[in-house]
Structure 1
Amino acid sequence: MPSEPVNLLVGSSSVFGVGTTRDEATLPSRLWSQHAPSRPWLNFGGRSHNSTQELLLFLLYRHLLPPVEEIVIVSGFNNLSLARLPADVQGDHGAFFLCNEYFEKIAELRKPPKKSGGPFRRQPPAPAAADAHTTDPAQQIAHATELTVRHLGSWQLLARALGARLSYALQPMAPWVRAEPAPEEARLFDELDELFSFTEMFGDVIAPQVGRAYAAALEAGCEKEGVRFLDLNVVLAGDADPDEWIFVDRCHFTDAGHDKVARLLAEHLDLH
Protein backbone atom coordinates (compact mmCIF):
# COMPACT_ATOMS: atom_id res chain seq x y z
CA MET A 1 0.00 0.00 0.00
CA PRO A 2 1.38 3.47 -0.86
CA SER A 3 2.40 5.56 2.13
CA GLU A 4 1.93 9.02 0.59
CA PRO A 5 -1.41 10.75 1.41
CA VAL A 6 -4.24 10.97 -1.10
CA ASN A 7 -7.46 12.92 -1.52
CA LEU A 8 -10.89 11.41 -2.20
CA LEU A 9 -13.69 12.69 -4.41
CA VAL A 10 -16.91 10.96 -3.38
CA GLY A 11 -20.29 10.93 -5.06
CA SER A 12 -22.48 9.37 -7.68
CA SER A 13 -22.41 9.40 -11.49
CA SER A 14 -21.11 12.96 -11.86
CA VAL A 15 -18.02 12.05 -9.85
CA PHE A 16 -17.80 8.66 -11.55
CA GLY A 17 -17.46 10.45 -14.89
CA VAL A 18 -20.72 10.04 -16.81
CA GLY A 19 -20.64 12.46 -19.74
CA THR A 20 -16.88 12.48 -20.26
CA THR A 21 -15.17 11.21 -23.38
CA ARG A 22 -12.21 9.73 -21.47
CA ASP A 23 -10.95 9.04 -17.94
CA GLU A 24 -8.63 12.04 -18.05
CA ALA A 25 -11.62 14.39 -18.22
CA THR A 26 -13.34 13.26 -14.99
CA LEU A 27 -13.51 15.53 -11.95
CA PRO A 28 -10.86 13.64 -9.92
CA SER A 29 -8.53 13.54 -12.92
CA ARG A 30 -8.88 17.28 -13.57
CA LEU A 31 -8.23 18.02 -9.90
CA TRP A 32 -5.13 15.85 -9.83
CA SER A 33 -3.70 16.90 -13.18
CA GLN A 34 -4.58 20.58 -13.20
CA HIS A 35 -6.49 22.32 -10.43
CA ALA A 36 -5.37 20.73 -7.13
CA PRO A 37 -2.31 18.63 -8.01
CA SER A 38 -0.49 18.47 -4.66
CA ARG A 39 -1.95 15.02 -3.89
CA PRO A 40 -3.49 12.24 -6.01
CA TRP A 41 -7.28 12.37 -6.22
CA LEU A 42 -8.99 8.99 -6.09
CA ASN A 43 -12.40 8.46 -7.66
CA PHE A 44 -14.91 7.17 -5.10
CA GLY A 45 -17.96 7.73 -7.31
CA GLY A 46 -20.55 5.10 -8.15
CA ARG A 47 -23.32 4.99 -10.73
CA SER A 48 -26.75 5.87 -9.28
CA HIS A 49 -25.54 5.85 -5.68
CA ASN A 50 -27.50 7.41 -2.85
CA SER A 51 -25.70 8.73 0.23
CA THR A 52 -25.93 5.34 1.97
CA GLN A 53 -24.16 3.65 -0.92
CA GLU A 54 -21.54 6.41 -1.09
CA LEU A 55 -20.71 5.83 2.57
CA LEU A 56 -20.67 2.05 2.19
CA LEU A 57 -18.31 2.24 -0.79
CA PHE A 58 -15.78 4.06 1.36
CA LEU A 59 -16.20 1.74 4.35
CA LEU A 60 -15.77 -1.38 2.21
CA TYR A 61 -12.52 -0.17 0.59
CA ARG A 62 -10.99 1.91 3.38
CA HIS A 63 -8.48 -0.87 4.06
CA LEU A 64 -6.90 -0.32 0.64
CA LEU A 65 -6.25 3.38 1.16
CA PRO A 66 -3.10 5.18 2.29
CA PRO A 67 -3.49 8.22 4.59
CA VAL A 68 -6.23 10.61 3.44
CA GLU A 69 -5.98 14.41 3.61
CA GLU A 70 -9.12 15.67 1.84
CA ILE A 71 -12.56 14.09 1.45
CA VAL A 72 -14.83 16.06 -0.89
CA ILE A 73 -18.37 14.80 -1.48
CA VAL A 74 -20.11 16.10 -4.63
CA SER A 75 -23.66 14.80 -4.49
CA GLY A 76 -27.25 15.59 -3.57
CA PHE A 77 -29.66 15.01 -6.44
CA ASN A 78 -30.08 11.26 -6.07
CA ASN A 79 -31.22 11.52 -2.46
CA LEU A 80 -33.71 14.21 -3.46
CA SER A 81 -35.09 12.32 -6.46
CA LEU A 82 -35.36 9.04 -4.52
CA ALA A 83 -37.19 10.80 -1.69
CA ARG A 84 -40.30 10.84 -3.89
CA LEU A 85 -40.63 7.04 -3.71
CA PRO A 86 -43.18 5.50 -1.31
CA ALA A 87 -42.33 5.15 2.37
CA ASP A 88 -42.54 1.35 2.21
CA VAL A 89 -39.39 1.21 0.05
CA GLN A 90 -37.44 3.83 1.99
CA GLY A 91 -36.48 1.62 4.92
CA ASP A 92 -34.03 3.01 7.46
CA HIS A 93 -31.44 4.16 4.93
CA GLY A 94 -33.37 5.59 2.00
CA ALA A 95 -34.59 4.18 -1.28
CA PHE A 96 -32.17 3.21 -4.02
CA PHE A 97 -32.46 3.07 -7.78
CA LEU A 98 -34.17 -0.09 -9.10
CA CYS A 99 -35.41 -0.88 -5.59
CA ASN A 100 -38.91 -1.53 -6.94
CA GLU A 101 -37.57 -4.43 -9.00
CA TYR A 102 -35.69 -5.71 -5.95
CA PHE A 103 -38.76 -5.68 -3.72
CA GLU A 104 -40.89 -7.26 -6.43
CA LYS A 105 -38.46 -10.19 -6.64
CA ILE A 106 -38.44 -10.53 -2.86
CA ALA A 107 -42.25 -10.59 -2.88
CA GLU A 108 -42.21 -13.37 -5.48
CA LEU A 109 -39.89 -15.46 -3.32
CA ARG A 110 -42.15 -15.02 -0.31
CA LYS A 111 -45.24 -16.31 -2.05
CA PRO A 112 -46.35 -19.80 -0.90
CA PRO A 113 -45.35 -22.45 -3.47
CA LYS A 114 -48.08 -24.13 -5.45
CA LYS A 115 -46.94 -27.54 -4.21
CA SER A 116 -46.91 -28.31 -0.51
CA GLY A 117 -43.64 -29.02 1.22
CA GLY A 118 -41.66 -26.19 -0.35
CA PRO A 119 -39.09 -24.34 1.74
CA PHE A 120 -41.23 -21.19 1.90
CA ARG A 121 -44.62 -22.75 2.63
CA ARG A 122 -45.04 -20.95 5.97
CA GLN A 123 -43.92 -17.57 4.62
CA PRO A 124 -46.84 -15.18 3.99
CA PRO A 125 -46.83 -13.13 0.82
CA ALA A 126 -45.40 -9.64 1.10
CA PRO A 127 -48.02 -6.92 1.62
CA ALA A 128 -48.85 -4.88 -1.44
CA ALA A 129 -47.40 -1.41 -1.57
CA ALA A 130 -50.05 1.10 -0.57
CA ASP A 131 -48.17 4.37 -0.32
CA ALA A 132 -48.19 6.79 -3.21
CA HIS A 133 -45.18 8.65 -4.51
CA THR A 134 -44.34 11.80 -2.57
CA THR A 135 -44.80 14.77 -4.87
CA ASP A 136 -44.53 17.54 -2.26
CA PRO A 137 -41.09 19.14 -2.76
CA ALA A 138 -40.96 20.28 0.87
CA GLN A 139 -41.37 16.69 2.07
CA GLN A 140 -38.74 15.47 -0.38
CA ILE A 141 -36.29 18.15 0.72
CA ALA A 142 -36.84 17.29 4.39
CA HIS A 143 -36.37 13.57 3.82
CA ALA A 144 -33.32 13.94 1.56
CA THR A 145 -31.69 16.45 3.90
CA GLU A 146 -32.22 14.28 6.99
CA LEU A 147 -30.65 11.29 5.28
CA THR A 148 -27.74 13.27 3.85
CA VAL A 149 -26.93 15.05 7.10
CA ARG A 150 -27.16 11.81 9.07
CA HIS A 151 -24.57 10.26 6.80
CA LEU A 152 -22.42 13.39 6.90
CA GLY A 153 -22.25 12.92 10.66
CA SER A 154 -20.73 9.48 10.04
CA TRP A 155 -18.40 10.91 7.40
CA GLN A 156 -17.25 13.55 9.87
CA LEU A 157 -16.42 10.94 12.52
CA LEU A 158 -14.40 9.01 9.93
CA ALA A 159 -12.66 12.13 8.66
CA ARG A 160 -11.62 13.18 12.14
CA ALA A 161 -10.30 9.70 12.88
CA LEU A 162 -8.25 9.86 9.68
CA GLY A 163 -7.09 13.42 10.24
CA ALA A 164 -8.78 14.44 6.98
CA ARG A 165 -10.74 17.57 6.07
CA LEU A 166 -14.34 16.96 4.94
CA SER A 167 -16.32 19.12 2.50
CA TYR A 168 -19.75 18.69 0.91
CA ALA A 169 -20.69 20.28 -2.42
CA LEU A 170 -24.24 20.19 -3.78
CA GLN A 171 -23.86 18.99 -7.36
CA PRO A 172 -24.92 21.27 -10.21
CA MET A 173 -28.17 20.58 -12.04
CA ALA A 174 -28.79 22.38 -15.32
CA PRO A 175 -32.19 23.86 -14.27
CA TRP A 176 -30.70 24.98 -10.94
CA VAL A 177 -27.77 26.74 -12.62
CA ARG A 178 -29.58 28.86 -15.22
CA ALA A 179 -33.08 29.38 -16.50
CA GLU A 180 -32.21 28.85 -20.17
CA PRO A 181 -29.80 26.13 -21.30
CA ALA A 182 -27.08 26.75 -23.86
CA PRO A 183 -28.16 26.03 -27.47
CA GLU A 184 -26.37 22.64 -27.58
CA GLU A 185 -27.86 21.70 -24.22
CA ALA A 186 -31.37 22.61 -25.33
CA ARG A 187 -31.10 20.34 -28.37
CA LEU A 188 -29.75 17.48 -26.27
CA PHE A 189 -32.42 17.89 -23.59
CA ASP A 190 -35.20 17.85 -26.19
CA GLU A 191 -33.80 14.74 -27.83
CA LEU A 192 -33.35 12.95 -24.49
CA ASP A 193 -36.90 13.87 -23.45
CA GLU A 194 -38.20 11.94 -26.45
CA LEU A 195 -36.61 8.80 -24.96
CA PHE A 196 -37.16 9.51 -21.28
CA SER A 197 -39.03 12.51 -19.97
CA PHE A 198 -36.78 13.88 -17.25
CA THR A 199 -39.20 16.73 -16.64
CA GLU A 200 -42.15 14.35 -16.26
CA MET A 201 -40.21 12.12 -13.86
CA PHE A 202 -38.44 14.79 -11.77
CA GLY A 203 -40.30 17.99 -12.58
CA ASP A 204 -41.31 18.49 -8.96
CA VAL A 205 -37.70 18.80 -7.79
CA ILE A 206 -35.78 20.38 -10.68
CA ALA A 207 -37.45 23.78 -10.32
CA PRO A 208 -34.91 26.49 -9.38
CA GLN A 209 -36.73 27.38 -6.16
CA VAL A 210 -36.54 23.76 -5.03
CA GLY A 211 -32.81 23.72 -5.69
CA ARG A 212 -32.35 26.87 -3.60
CA ALA A 213 -34.45 25.51 -0.73
CA TYR A 214 -32.57 22.21 -0.80
CA ALA A 215 -29.21 24.01 -0.76
CA ALA A 216 -30.28 26.10 2.23
CA ALA A 217 -31.40 23.02 4.14
CA LEU A 218 -28.17 21.17 3.37
CA GLU A 219 -26.07 24.18 4.31
CA ALA A 220 -27.78 24.34 7.71
CA GLY A 221 -27.22 20.63 8.23
CA CYS A 222 -23.56 20.88 7.25
CA GLU A 223 -23.07 23.75 9.67
CA LYS A 224 -24.55 21.62 12.45
CA GLU A 225 -22.12 18.79 11.68
CA GLY A 226 -19.12 21.07 11.21
CA VAL A 227 -18.79 20.22 7.50
CA ARG A 228 -17.77 22.83 4.95
CA PHE A 229 -20.54 23.39 2.39
CA LEU A 230 -20.50 24.65 -1.20
CA ASP A 231 -23.45 25.11 -3.52
CA LEU A 232 -21.87 24.47 -6.91
CA ASN A 233 -25.02 25.71 -8.64
CA VAL A 234 -24.43 29.25 -7.40
CA VAL A 235 -20.73 29.42 -8.22
CA LEU A 236 -21.21 27.73 -11.61
CA ALA A 237 -24.01 30.15 -12.47
CA GLY A 238 -21.70 33.05 -11.68
CA ASP A 239 -18.80 31.63 -13.70
CA ALA A 240 -20.46 30.28 -16.85
CA ASP A 241 -21.33 32.32 -19.94
CA PRO A 242 -25.01 32.11 -21.00
CA ASP A 243 -24.21 30.16 -24.18
CA GLU A 244 -21.43 28.02 -22.71
CA TRP A 245 -21.98 24.29 -23.27
CA ILE A 246 -21.60 22.64 -19.84
CA PHE A 247 -24.13 19.80 -19.62
CA VAL A 248 -24.70 16.70 -21.76
CA ASP A 249 -27.97 16.12 -19.88
CA ARG A 250 -29.52 17.84 -16.90
CA CYS A 251 -27.20 16.05 -14.41
CA HIS A 252 -23.91 15.37 -16.20
CA PHE A 253 -21.21 17.52 -17.78
CA THR A 254 -19.27 17.81 -20.99
CA ASP A 255 -15.48 17.51 -20.79
CA ALA A 256 -15.27 21.30 -20.58
CA GLY A 257 -17.96 21.28 -17.90
CA HIS A 258 -16.00 18.76 -15.83
CA ASP A 259 -12.91 20.95 -16.06
CA LYS A 260 -14.85 24.05 -15.02
CA VAL A 261 -16.49 22.31 -12.04
CA ALA A 262 -13.13 20.90 -10.93
CA ARG A 263 -11.61 24.39 -11.04
CA LEU A 264 -14.48 25.84 -9.03
CA LEU A 265 -14.14 23.09 -6.42
CA ALA A 266 -10.45 23.85 -6.07
CA GLU A 267 -10.99 27.62 -5.85
CA HIS A 268 -13.92 27.69 -3.44
CA LEU A 269 -12.80 24.83 -1.17
CA ASP A 270 -9.16 25.96 -1.09
CA LEU A 271 -7.89 22.69 -2.54
CA HIS A 272 -4.23 22.54 -3.56
Structure 2
Amino acid sequence: MSEFAGRTAVVTGAGSGIGLAVATELAARGAAVAALDLDPSGTPADVLGLRCDVTDEESVSAAVEEVVQRLGGVDVLVNNAGIGAQGTVETNAYDEWNKVFDVNVLGIVRTTRACLPHLRRSSAAAIVNTCSIAATAGLPNRALYSASKGAVLSLTMAMAADHVTEGIRVNCVNPGTVDTPWVRRLLEAADDPEAELRALQARQPSGRLVSAAEVAGAVTYLAGPAAGATTGTALAVDGGMQGLRLRKS
Protein backbone atom coordinates (compact mmCIF):
# COMPACT_ATOMS: atom_id res chain seq x y z
CA MET A 1 0.00 0.00 0.00
CA SER A 2 1.30 3.42 -0.89
CA GLU A 3 -1.51 5.93 -0.40
CA PHE A 4 0.78 7.98 1.88
CA ALA A 5 3.76 7.98 -0.49
CA GLY A 6 5.41 11.39 -0.52
CA ARG A 7 3.73 12.44 2.73
CA THR A 8 5.30 13.01 6.12
CA ALA A 9 3.46 12.16 9.32
CA VAL A 10 4.16 13.21 12.90
CA VAL A 11 2.74 10.97 15.64
CA THR A 12 2.99 11.95 19.31
CA GLY A 13 2.99 9.40 22.11
CA ALA A 14 4.32 6.90 19.57
CA GLY A 15 6.69 4.96 21.81
CA SER A 16 4.15 2.22 22.56
CA GLY A 17 0.49 1.26 22.39
CA ILE A 18 -1.83 3.10 20.00
CA GLY A 19 0.79 5.62 18.92
CA LEU A 20 3.30 2.95 17.98
CA ALA A 21 0.62 1.06 16.03
CA VAL A 22 -0.31 4.25 14.17
CA ALA A 23 3.30 5.11 13.33
CA THR A 24 3.96 1.57 12.12
CA GLU A 25 0.81 1.51 9.97
CA LEU A 26 1.51 4.90 8.38
CA ALA A 27 5.04 3.79 7.52
CA ALA A 28 3.70 0.55 6.03
CA ARG A 29 1.39 2.64 3.83
CA GLY A 30 4.26 4.68 2.43
CA ALA A 31 4.55 7.70 4.73
CA ALA A 32 7.77 9.08 6.12
CA VAL A 33 6.98 8.94 9.83
CA ALA A 34 8.38 10.69 12.88
CA ALA A 35 7.48 9.12 16.24
CA LEU A 36 7.61 11.66 19.07
CA ASP A 37 7.69 10.33 22.62
CA LEU A 38 9.37 10.75 25.98
CA ASP A 39 11.02 7.41 25.19
CA PRO A 40 11.13 6.73 21.44
CA SER A 41 13.53 3.81 21.75
CA GLY A 42 10.83 1.27 20.85
CA THR A 43 10.09 2.69 17.41
CA PRO A 44 10.89 0.49 14.39
CA ALA A 45 13.86 1.09 12.12
CA ASP A 46 11.79 2.64 9.32
CA VAL A 47 10.41 5.33 11.66
CA LEU A 48 12.30 8.40 12.87
CA GLY A 49 12.14 8.31 16.67
CA LEU A 50 12.55 11.66 18.43
CA ARG A 51 12.38 12.48 22.11
CA CYS A 52 9.65 15.02 22.80
CA ASP A 53 7.79 16.22 25.88
CA VAL A 54 4.40 17.61 24.80
CA THR A 55 4.17 19.62 28.05
CA ASP A 56 7.27 21.62 27.02
CA GLU A 57 6.83 24.09 24.16
CA GLU A 58 10.54 24.26 23.41
CA SER A 59 10.77 20.47 23.25
CA VAL A 60 7.84 20.31 20.86
CA SER A 61 9.16 23.10 18.62
CA ALA A 62 12.62 21.53 18.44
CA ALA A 63 11.20 18.10 17.57
CA VAL A 64 8.95 19.46 14.83
CA GLU A 65 11.79 21.50 13.34
CA GLU A 66 13.98 18.40 13.27
CA VAL A 67 11.20 16.51 11.48
CA VAL A 68 10.98 19.24 8.84
CA GLN A 69 14.74 19.36 8.37
CA ARG A 70 15.13 15.58 8.08
CA LEU A 71 11.88 14.57 6.37
CA GLY A 72 10.97 17.71 4.46
CA GLY A 73 7.69 18.90 5.96
CA VAL A 74 4.52 17.85 7.75
CA ASP A 75 1.41 16.56 5.97
CA VAL A 76 -0.22 14.55 8.74
CA LEU A 77 -0.28 15.19 12.49
CA VAL A 78 -1.58 12.55 14.87
CA ASN A 79 -2.01 14.01 18.35
CA ASN A 80 -1.96 10.79 20.35
CA ALA A 81 0.12 11.58 23.47
CA GLY A 82 -1.98 11.22 26.59
CA ILE A 83 -2.10 9.96 30.16
CA GLY A 84 -4.88 8.38 32.18
CA ALA A 85 -6.35 8.99 35.59
CA GLN A 86 -8.71 7.18 37.91
CA GLY A 87 -10.97 8.89 40.43
CA THR A 88 -14.15 10.83 41.05
CA VAL A 89 -14.49 14.60 40.90
CA GLU A 90 -13.35 14.85 44.54
CA THR A 91 -10.54 12.30 44.76
CA ASN A 92 -7.90 13.53 42.30
CA ALA A 93 -5.56 16.23 43.60
CA TYR A 94 -5.62 19.56 41.79
CA ASP A 95 -2.02 18.99 40.72
CA GLU A 96 -3.14 15.83 38.93
CA TRP A 97 -5.97 17.73 37.21
CA ASN A 98 -3.41 20.23 35.95
CA LYS A 99 -1.01 17.50 34.83
CA VAL A 100 -3.62 15.51 32.88
CA PHE A 101 -4.97 18.58 31.11
CA ASP A 102 -1.41 19.74 30.39
CA VAL A 103 -0.68 16.50 28.54
CA ASN A 104 -4.05 15.53 27.07
CA VAL A 105 -5.30 18.96 25.98
CA LEU A 106 -2.47 21.48 25.96
CA GLY A 107 -0.19 18.84 24.46
CA ILE A 108 -2.45 18.93 21.40
CA VAL A 109 -2.36 22.72 21.39
CA ARG A 110 1.45 22.91 21.53
CA THR A 111 2.05 20.29 18.86
CA THR A 112 -0.60 21.65 16.52
CA ARG A 113 0.77 25.18 16.84
CA ALA A 114 4.24 23.96 15.93
CA CYS A 115 2.96 21.96 12.93
CA LEU A 116 0.39 24.39 11.50
CA PRO A 117 2.84 26.51 9.44
CA HIS A 118 4.03 23.32 7.73
CA LEU A 119 0.55 21.80 7.36
CA ARG A 120 -0.57 24.96 5.57
CA ARG A 121 2.02 24.26 2.88
CA SER A 122 0.71 20.72 2.33
CA SER A 123 -1.80 19.81 -0.37
CA ALA A 124 -3.12 16.94 1.76
CA ALA A 125 -3.03 18.24 5.34
CA ALA A 126 -4.78 16.26 8.04
CA ILE A 127 -4.86 16.24 11.83
CA VAL A 128 -6.22 13.30 13.81
CA ASN A 129 -6.61 13.57 17.59
CA THR A 130 -6.90 10.54 19.87
CA CYS A 131 -9.99 11.12 21.97
CA SER A 132 -11.91 8.44 23.90
CA ILE A 133 -15.27 6.81 24.55
CA ALA A 134 -14.93 8.65 27.87
CA ALA A 135 -15.83 11.86 26.02
CA THR A 136 -19.27 10.57 25.06
CA ALA A 137 -20.23 8.06 27.77
CA GLY A 138 -20.23 8.41 31.52
CA LEU A 139 -17.69 5.97 32.94
CA PRO A 140 -17.36 5.38 36.69
CA ASN A 141 -14.23 6.54 38.47
CA ARG A 142 -12.94 8.46 35.43
CA ALA A 143 -14.02 12.06 36.10
CA LEU A 144 -10.67 13.73 35.40
CA TYR A 145 -9.81 11.59 32.39
CA SER A 146 -13.30 12.03 30.95
CA ALA A 147 -13.16 15.79 31.38
CA SER A 148 -9.86 15.97 29.52
CA LYS A 149 -11.15 13.84 26.65
CA GLY A 150 -14.38 15.84 26.50
CA ALA A 151 -12.15 18.86 25.96
CA VAL A 152 -10.30 17.00 23.18
CA LEU A 153 -13.60 16.27 21.42
CA SER A 154 -14.71 19.91 21.57
CA LEU A 155 -11.24 21.11 20.58
CA THR A 156 -11.30 18.82 17.54
CA MET A 157 -14.59 20.29 16.31
CA ALA A 158 -13.39 23.87 16.86
CA MET A 159 -10.09 23.20 15.09
CA ALA A 160 -11.95 21.64 12.16
CA ALA A 161 -14.05 24.80 11.81
CA ASP A 162 -11.04 27.09 12.12
CA HIS A 163 -8.88 25.36 9.52
CA VAL A 164 -11.22 23.85 6.93
CA THR A 165 -10.83 26.85 4.62
CA GLU A 166 -7.06 26.39 4.80
CA GLY A 167 -7.39 22.86 3.43
CA ILE A 168 -6.56 21.24 6.77
CA ARG A 169 -8.92 18.46 7.86
CA VAL A 170 -9.29 17.77 11.60
CA ASN A 171 -10.94 14.66 13.03
CA CYS A 172 -10.63 12.42 16.07
CA VAL A 173 -10.98 8.77 16.98
CA ASN A 174 -12.83 7.66 20.10
CA PRO A 175 -11.42 4.29 21.18
CA GLY A 176 -13.09 2.12 23.74
CA THR A 177 -10.90 0.12 26.11
CA VAL A 178 -7.81 -0.79 24.10
CA ASP A 179 -5.42 -3.62 24.89
CA THR A 180 -2.34 -1.47 25.49
CA PRO A 181 0.56 -1.62 27.97
CA TRP A 182 -1.19 1.09 30.05
CA VAL A 183 -4.38 -0.98 30.37
CA ARG A 184 -2.35 -4.08 31.18
CA ARG A 185 -0.60 -2.18 33.99
CA LEU A 186 -4.00 -1.20 35.40
CA LEU A 187 -5.08 -4.82 35.29
CA GLU A 188 -1.92 -5.97 37.06
CA ALA A 189 -2.62 -3.47 39.86
CA ALA A 190 -6.19 -4.72 40.40
CA ASP A 191 -7.05 -6.99 43.31
CA ASP A 192 -8.30 -9.62 40.85
CA PRO A 193 -6.77 -8.95 37.40
CA GLU A 194 -8.73 -11.72 35.67
CA ALA A 195 -12.06 -10.49 37.05
CA GLU A 196 -11.20 -6.92 36.07
CA LEU A 197 -10.32 -8.03 32.54
CA ARG A 198 -13.63 -9.88 32.22
CA ALA A 199 -15.46 -6.76 33.41
CA LEU A 200 -13.70 -4.57 30.84
CA GLN A 201 -14.45 -7.07 28.09
CA ALA A 202 -18.10 -7.32 29.07
CA ARG A 203 -18.47 -3.51 29.10
CA GLN A 204 -18.01 -3.50 25.31
CA PRO A 205 -20.87 -5.11 23.34
CA SER A 206 -18.34 -6.97 21.17
CA GLY A 207 -17.22 -8.79 24.32
CA ARG A 208 -13.52 -8.06 23.87
CA LEU A 209 -10.98 -5.28 24.14
CA VAL A 210 -10.19 -3.15 21.10
CA SER A 211 -6.77 -3.74 19.54
CA ALA A 212 -4.26 -0.96 18.94
CA ALA A 213 -4.13 -2.04 15.28
CA GLU A 214 -7.87 -1.42 14.92
CA VAL A 215 -7.48 2.11 16.23
CA ALA A 216 -4.51 2.63 13.91
CA GLY A 217 -6.68 1.58 10.98
CA ALA A 218 -9.24 4.24 11.85
CA VAL A 219 -6.55 6.90 12.28
CA THR A 220 -4.92 6.13 8.93
CA TYR A 221 -8.31 6.23 7.22
CA LEU A 222 -9.09 9.68 8.62
CA ALA A 223 -5.59 10.91 7.74
CA GLY A 224 -5.63 9.52 4.21
CA PRO A 225 -6.99 10.40 0.78
CA ALA A 226 -10.08 8.18 1.13
CA ALA A 227 -11.34 10.60 3.81
CA GLY A 228 -10.72 13.72 1.76
CA ALA A 229 -14.26 15.01 2.36
CA THR A 230 -14.28 14.15 6.07
CA THR A 231 -13.60 16.79 8.70
CA GLY A 232 -15.07 17.60 12.10
CA THR A 233 -15.89 13.93 12.71
CA ALA A 234 -15.42 11.67 15.75
CA LEU A 235 -15.02 8.02 14.72
CA ALA A 236 -15.84 5.53 17.49
CA VAL A 237 -13.66 2.40 17.63
CA ASP A 238 -15.21 0.88 20.72
CA GLY A 239 -16.82 -2.47 19.97
CA GLY A 240 -20.24 -0.80 19.96
CA MET A 241 -19.89 0.74 23.40
CA GLN A 242 -21.05 4.22 22.39
CA GLY A 243 -24.28 3.37 20.65
CA LEU A 244 -25.36 -0.20 21.27
CA ARG A 245 -27.60 -1.28 24.14
CA LEU A 246 -27.81 -5.07 24.09
CA ARG A 247 -30.63 -6.91 25.79
CA LYS A 248 -29.37 -9.24 28.50
CA SER A 249 -30.50 -12.81 28.07
Q: TM-score range by the shorter chain?
A: 0.3 to 0.5
Question: When the two structures are superposed, what TM-score results if normalisation uses the length of structure 1?
Answer: 0.38
Q: Which has the higher contact order (CA 8 A, sep 6+)?
A: 1
Structure with a larger share of its residues in strand? 2
**Higher Cα Rg: structure 1 or 2?**
1
